[in-house]
Amino acid sequence: MSIHIGGLNLGIPAVLAPMADTSDLPFRLVNRSCGCPLAFTEMINARSLSYGGKKVLKLLDTCPQDSPLGVQLLGREPEYIRKAVDVLNESGRYELLDLNAACPVRKVIRRGEGAALAKDIKLLGELVKVMVKHSQTPVSVKLRAGWDADNRNVCDAALAVQDAGAVCVFIHGRTCSQQYHGDVDYELIGAAKRRLSIPVFVSGNVFSAELAQDIIKKTACDGVVVARGSFGNPWIFSQIKALFSGEVLVEHRPDRAALVAMVRRHFDMLTDYDPRTGHVRFRKVFSWYIRYLPGARHFRDKIFRSRSQSEMAGLIDDFAGECA
């Protein structure tokens, strides 16, 4: 199967979403181990990146197995976007540069960034032009359906970024005011696809391989963006691959041994990557993996009470024992 973004050949019609406080290097590698063909960093504030602070540069951590990688920028000031692109050009360790025009968080939209860019399509186009002009890699944009129910202007926004030189758009089919709840407007994304010549990827409620297939069928889009559907379920990528290769899916969840092995692997990677607070960050990760199992709530309480790496390792052993 040939699915391209810029010069990248993905092989399957699915990418891993940029997600704040989630899309770290271990998370991306775990998903890649199940066949994810393209992953993104979480959104990175362009102004902070242009100052080059240690904390923000950490978000660019990557490795040879973490490729191809998309880096997502957040901002609205052309001069800081330009400076951030300069920093990225020097790092040279990514293949796609994305602009966040989708984040609905209040402190972000108050600054006129993220999803608020839907209210200023001219500026949105200008920012993309700056990125296209200075970036060494192709540029994409993540958009929302619009600002609110009365302003679903994603078709115009997508046309503006296409005219400005973007090679792909990722569209979350909810408005900014919907945040992460309520219906996803797949019809609107389908309408945007019909008006664009660049690839369009759909974001919103991609919780299984079958849903991915339905969404692609109903929108005629090029692929999907997997976000919350990857939580504790990196296998969604191998299932998408199987489904699009014509296989019939039988098992939805991995067997217990595979689940335990993935939990251990994710824990080891996260604590190696972040020895100081990796075990704390693992609390939410562990709870994703067990959420469909009987007794999950009780076990989850223990996970969130654990205070050290060794205590967390002990809980993983208990979990493995219960699964044996």
Ligand X SMILES: Cc1cc2nc3c(=O)[nH]c(=O)nc-3n(C[C@H](O)[C@H](O)[C@H](O)COP(=O)(O)O)c2cc1C
- Whose CA is closest to 243, among 280, 212, 204, 277? 212
Of 63-71, 85-93, 118-126, 225-233, the window that binds ligand X (rule: CB under 6 A) is 225-233
Q: Which of 109, 227, 240, 270 binds ligand X (CB under 6 A)?
A: 227
DSSP state at residue 23: -
Active site residue 103: yes
CA distance 321 to 139: 47
Measured from the CB atom, the residue of 142 and 266 that comes closer to ligand X is 142
Give the pairing of strands 8-9 and 4-5. antiparallel
What dihedral angle (degrees, nearest 10) is formed by the CA atoms of 298, 300, 302, 304? Answer: -150
SS3 270: helix
What Å distances lie between residue 162 and 28, 157, 197, 200, 271, CA to CA?
A: 28, 9, 8, 11, 41
Centre a 10 Å sphere on the Cβ of residue 283 and count the other Cβ atoms it contains.
Answer: 15
- Whose CA is closest to 212, among 253, 240, 172? 240
Active-site pick, 34, 36, 63, 103: 103
Using rule CB under 6 A, residue 103 touches ligand X: yes
Using rule CB under 6 A, residue 22 touches ligand X: yes
Measured from the CB atom, the residue of 142 and 241 that comes closer to ligand X is 142
CA distance 251 to 158: 38
Using rule CB under 6 A, residue 102 touches ligand X: yes
Dihedral sign for Cα atoms in the order 212, 213, 219, 221: positive
Using rule CB under 6 A, residue 76 touches ligand X: no
Using rule CB under 6 A, residue 141 touches ligand X: no
Find the shortest distance in angstroms from Cβ 256 to ligand X. 26
Using rule CB under 6 A, residue 100 touches ligand X: yes
Of 11-19, 234-242, 280-288, 301-309, the window that binds ligand X (rule: CB under 6 A) is 11-19
| Residue 5 CB-density burial (10 A; 0-12 exposed, 13-18 middle, 19+ buried) | buried
CA distance 201 to 186: 11
Q: Which of 15, 37, 42, 137 binds ligand X (CB under 6 A)?
A: 42
Measured from the CB atom, the residue of 103 and 269 that comes closer to ligand X is 103
Per-position x/- string for 121-140, each x denoting binding to ligand X as judged by CB under 6 A, each - no binding: --------------------
Asked if residues 239 and 209 have their Cβ atoms less than 8 Å apart, the reply is yes
Using rule CB under 6 A, residue 19 touches ligand X: yes
Using rule CB under 6 A, residue 236 touches ligand X: no
Using rule CB under 6 A, residue 240 touches ligand X: no
Using rule CB under 6 A, residue 230 touches ligand X: no
Find the shortest distance in angstroms from Cβ 180 to ligand X. 6
Measured from the CB atom, the residue of 37 and 204 that comes closer to ligand X is 204
Using rule CB under 6 A, residue 206 touches ligand X: yes
* Residues assigned a catalytic role: 103
Give contact residues for ligand X (rule: CB under 6 A): 17-20, 22, 42-43, 72, 100, 102-103, 142, 172, 180, 203-206, 225, 227-229
